Amino acid sequence: MINLPLLKYECRKIKKPIFGNHVLILIQHLLRDSISLVRAFEKCGAEQEDIFVIGIPYSSKSEVIKELSSDFKVFTPSYPIDDEVKKIIKKAVEVCKKKNKKLLIIEDGGYAVPIIHLELNEALKYCIGAVEQTTNGVWRDEEVILNFPVLTIAFSELKKELESPEIGNAVVRNIQMLLSKRGDFIRGKKVILAGYGTIGRQIAESLRNDGCVVGVSDPDPKKLIAARFKGFNTDSMLNLVKNGDIIVGASGRRSIGIKEILSAKNNAILVNASSKRVEIDVEVIENLKETKNKIDGVGTEYELINRNRLLLLADGYPVNFYNSESVPDKIIDVILTELFLCATELIKREFSKTIHKSLQSIINEDELADTFTQLHIN
């Protein structure tokens, strides 16, 4: 278990076992830091048998799964995980019934909230709310009419300022690491980036700093203007991919579909830089393939029916998690602390049945930033 002093400090401030009357479902990337988060809930009253931990398959580490499994109910479904999540929610609801407890969701990616609303009406009776970590998860939650509140840290100022540059660096670092395994490198390559949001901007800068020629596409004209003013080439994806050596999806949505795949140049490399396996239509690639060759530790190389070859890096899974913790411990300390504090607030007070995007209205981010500075910097 890594040292996360901010999370430890905020946990110790809570003197009552506030999670004692709740069953928790955590859907997380089971990296080293997740152990600290689960233990924080336990220390604040959650019983071990009432904590259900679901590992997101493409990032969860075996040693973390092993350690958590010794004390908690840990599940490691294969991708896609929705059907297994549904089964686990049902199990958690049975525990709620048996023990007369309430259900609380803490997740990364918007899996449980839509399933509960669309398929598990009984769970609505027990669930007091959810905490969502990512923008992609918020988008999924927005597709349903909510019957309980969802608090999100996706738009946290601290998260944006601290995490985004590190994710951008991790994406580029891991692309380089994977390419080096086959004797290739990123410097000098023409890289096409789909998405110029908070993360996309950081990826673009990191790519340029590593000597790449970067082209940017985004459906939002304001973001395209911002990219152009930063000196990046801008155009539609279909025009850009024709000359791209590497095509990176960072939009949080499907950005590389059949048109982009068939328009890509021969030997193009496709990369998913989102937090979920959403950017690249892998099913289309499978349907277009003539042959494919798995390259261990790198990805899969395809020959398509148009005779072009392409390399699907990390098999289309998020590249920033590949063989990596994605962001440094001190930054994940802030993120997990915000998740933890939002969960405590769901228990302490009532919220309207909507998505609460303003974190400052939920917790004191300025005070948290000051404590972070004292613990990690001063």
Lowest-confidence region among 37-41, 326-330, 353-357: 326-330
33 and 134 share one domain: yes
Give 347's pLDDT tier (boundaries 50, 70, 90).
very high
Angle at 234 between CA 231 and CA 240, to 5 degrees: 130
317 and 334 share one domain: no
- Residue 212: what residue type? C
Residue 1 confidence (pLDDT) above 80? no
> How far apart, in whole angstroms, are the C-alpha atoms of residue 205 and residue 280?
22
CATH number of the domain where residue 142 is located: 3.40.50.1480
Compute the average pLDDT of residues 186-213: 96
230 and 352 share one domain: no
Q: Which of 306, 321, 336 is the last residue of a domain?
A: 321
User: What's residue 73's pLDDT?
Assistant: 98
CATH number of the domain where residue 252 is located: 3.40.50.720
User: What's residue 324's pLDDT?
Assistant: 58
Give 3's pLDDT tier (boundaries 50, 70, 90).
confident
Residue 67 confidence (pLDDT) above 90? yes
Number of domains in the chain: 2
Q: What is the percentage of the chain residues whose pLDDT exceeds 90?
A: 85
26 and 61 share one domain: yes
User: What's residue 17's pLDDT?
Assistant: 97
Residue ranges making up the domain that contains 33: 5-158+327-377
Query: Helices in the chain by DSSP H: which ranges?
Result: 5-12, 32-43, 62-69, 82-99, 112-119, 121-124, 135-141, 157-180, 198-209, 221-229, 237-241, 258-263, 282-288, 329-348, 365-372
303 and 173 share one domain: yes
More confident residue, 252 or 55: 55
Give 329's pLDDT tier (boundaries 50, 70, 90).
confident
168 and 137 share one domain: no
User: What's residue 159's pLDDT?
Assistant: 87
106-131 per-position pLDDT tens digit: 999 999 999 999 999 999 999 999 99
305 and 204 share one domain: yes
278-298 per-position pLDDT tens digit: 899 999 999 999 999 999 989
> How far apart, in whole angstroms, are the C-alpha atoms of residue 35 and residue 30?
8
Lowest-confidence region among 134-148, 150-164, 178-192, 316-330: 316-330
135 and 18 share one domain: yes
Q: Which of 321, 337, 363 is the last residue of a domain?
A: 321
51 and 122 share one domain: yes
User: What's residue 140's pLDDT?
Assistant: 95
Give 226's pLDDT tier (boundaries 50, 70, 90).
very high
162-190 per-position pLDDT tens digit: 888 888 998 999 999 999 999 999 999 99
Residue 58 confidence (pLDDT) above 90? no
Which of left, alpha, beta for 129 (phi over 0: left; psi -120 to 50: alpha)?
A: left
152 and 225 share one domain: no
Residue 325 confidence (pLDDT) above 70? no
> How far apart, in whole angstroms, are the C-alpha atoms of residue 14 and residue 327?
27
Q: Which of 282, 302, 321 is the last residue of a domain?
A: 321
372 and 264 share one domain: no
201 and 255 share one domain: yes
Compute the average pLDDT of residues 80-90: 96
